[in-house]
Structures are given as C-alpha cells and as structure tokens.
Amino acid sequence: MIEIIVVLLILVLVMTLAVRGFQDKNTGVIVIEMSDTMKQVFKNASIRSQSFQAHVKVRVVVKDDESLICYLETVNQNPELPPKNPNDMTEEELLAYRSKKTNISIWSGEDDYELPEEVKITEYEELINDNNEIFFNFYPDGEATGPDLKVLVRDRQFQLTVDRLMGQLVLFENEEL
C-alpha cells in the first residue's frame, strides 16, 4: 500500500513539472522568435528604404517593465515640406494617402513589431534619447547604421546590431569564459 502511495506522489510530481514546462516557453524558442522578428524588421526597413529611395528609421522603444516595440518610420526627405495632417487633406488626397500607406505595408511589412516580453536590453542608458528610444537607420543605397545592443533573454546574453553594408541582423551569443 505504501508503494502505491509513493508511486502516485512521484507521478503527481512528474506531471506537475511537465505541465509547468509546457506552460513556459523554452528560452531557445524565445531567442528564435526575437531573431525572426528583428530579421523581419531590418529586412522590411531595408526594402522600404531602397524601394522608395528614402531614409527609414527603426525606432526601438525601451521601457523597463514592458515588451520592446520596434517602429518603422520613413524620414521626410524634404525638410521644407512638412508632412500633411490627414485632417487638413481633401478627400482625394486622403484616399491617395491611405492607398499609399496600404501599399507600403502590403509588400514591405507592418509599421510596428513587438518582441517577446522576456527580451530585455541591458546597458542601454548611453544609447537612448529623452523618450527612451534607440534608432537604427536604413539608407536608399542599402547601407544601415545602428548601435550594438546587449540583449538579455532570461539567463542568456546576446549582442544585436545591424550589418552596415547589407542592412541585415547580426546576432550572436556572448559566451562566458
């Protein structure tokens, strides 16, 4: 009788650990999600920049207790022409504006991307502006610039940056010596 109780207790313990393991994402899965998202962000920024011959910024918003969010923004090429407010546009201009935005997102991706909540940037204080933003820049000739970020995914640390010539993600894990 005692053997049956011991076996049942062990079975309950194993099942509890298994269920908890299925509920939590594996760190490797989170790293893959982060990598895939940042590859998509950089690829879409590069496509927009080269296709529209415009400077595109990727704005990464850093908040301590929230997920990192990346925004793709096309920089106005002529600073003397301020961007139009949609409220001041005629119906035809508004229709053309919405059509252009829709066409951009259809073949060059969305405007914002959220990284998994377990992804945190460390040692970023010198890289951010007053609005807690970090920028990567993409240019029409395919060039890209941006900082080297230290990224923490649970207990694993990575270096994340953009390839200066190709505008692609560069991600590697820091190994402890």
Domains of the chain from N-terminus onward: 26-173 (3.55.40)
Cβ–Cβ < 8 Å for 73, 49: no
Query: What is the pLDDT at residue 164?
Result: 94
pLDDT band for position 125 (50/70/90)?
A: confident
Helix (H, G, I), strand (E, B) or coil at 24: coil
For residue 32, which amino acid is it?
A: I
* Of the candidates 112, 113, 114, 116, the residue with the CA atom closest to the CA atom of residue 152: 116
Mean pLDDT for the stretch of residues 49-63:
89
* Of the candidates 172, 145, 165, 129, the residue with the CA atom closest to the CA atom of residue 34: 172
* Of the candidates 23, 174, 42, 19, the residue with the CA atom closest to the CA atom of residue 115: 42
pLDDT band for position 54 (50/70/90)?
A: confident
Query: What is the pLDDT at residue 139?
Result: 93
pLDDT reading at 99 higher than 90: no
**Lowest pLDDT segment from 34-43, 80-89, 133-142, 159-168:** 80-89
Residue 153, token pair as written in the block:
């995914």
| Helix or strand run (H / E) with residue 47 | helix 27-52
Phi, psi for residue 83 in degrees, rounded to 5 = -65, 145
Query: What is the pLDDT at residue 138?
Result: 95
pTM beyond 0.85: the answer is no
* Burial class for 1, CB neighbours closer than 10 Å (0-12, 13-18, 19+): exposed
Tell the residue number behind the tokens 């990346």, with chain if given: 70
The C-alpha atoms of residue 118 and residue 147 are separated, in whole angstroms, by 21
Cβ–Cβ < 8 Å for 165, 142: yes
Query: What is the pLDDT at residue 176?
Result: 61
